[in-house]
Amino acid sequence: MPATPHGPRDQERAHRAWMRLALDEAREAEATGDVPIGAVVVGPEGQVLAVGRNEREALGDPTAHAEVQAIRAAARALADDGGGDGWRLSDCTLVVTLEPCAMCAGAIVLARIPRVVFGAWDEKAGAAGSVFDILRERRLNHWVEVYPGVLEDECATLLRGFFAQHR
């Protein structure tokens, strides 16, 4: 996996590589009947700390969104490793195939994640700029850098295909 990006071109390359991993997770979610959304938490050196996928159907848990699953796994990984700052993912990047919803954006803020990279926009429930902008809400105690539209077409196509089959 790419190391921490240093310039704009390196950053774009890293974001695309990490998004491909998130897309792999999204496809795994689809295989279990869940909406195909995947997420990856990347550490400060560019290492993958954790992955997550939608598991609401698989687990019968309305909070089992890809972002929440990845954040929980990353916090556990850091705790098990003895590194990091406990539950704070303050040096991490979250990469997700769909713009986070309000619940996930809240979890991102509470986990102190400084950067979010996402693929497709969610015009119905997105909370990173389309419907709400929780990640950059100045009244909150933490703000997030947002990098939208990474492999957007591929992410959106996966979601459109899933919903076309389920309507």
Q: Work out the number of other CB atoms within 10 angstroms of the CB of residue 150.
A: 22
Strand partners, 115: 93, 145
User: Of the residues 67, 99, 137, 154, which is catalytic?
Assistant: 67
Q: Is 65 annotated as a binding residue?
A: yes
Is 30 a known active-site residue?
no
Q: Is 104 annotated as a binding residue?
A: yes
Q: Is 90 helix (H, G, I), strand (E, B) or coil?
A: coil
**Contact between residue 22 and residue 70 where contact means Cβ atoms under 8 Å apart:** no
Amino acid at 64: A
Q: Which region, left, alpha or beta, applies to residue 9 given φ > 0 means left and ψ of -120 to 50 means alpha? A: alpha
**Annotated binding-site residue? 155:** no
Q: Do the beta carbons of residue 48 and residue 39 sit within 8 Å?
A: no
Q: How far apart are CA 31 and CA 55, in angstroms?
A: 11
Residues with a known catalytic role: 67
- Annotated binding-site ranges: 65, 101, 104
Task: Detail the residues annotated as belonging to a binding site for Zn(2+).
Answer: 65, 101, 104
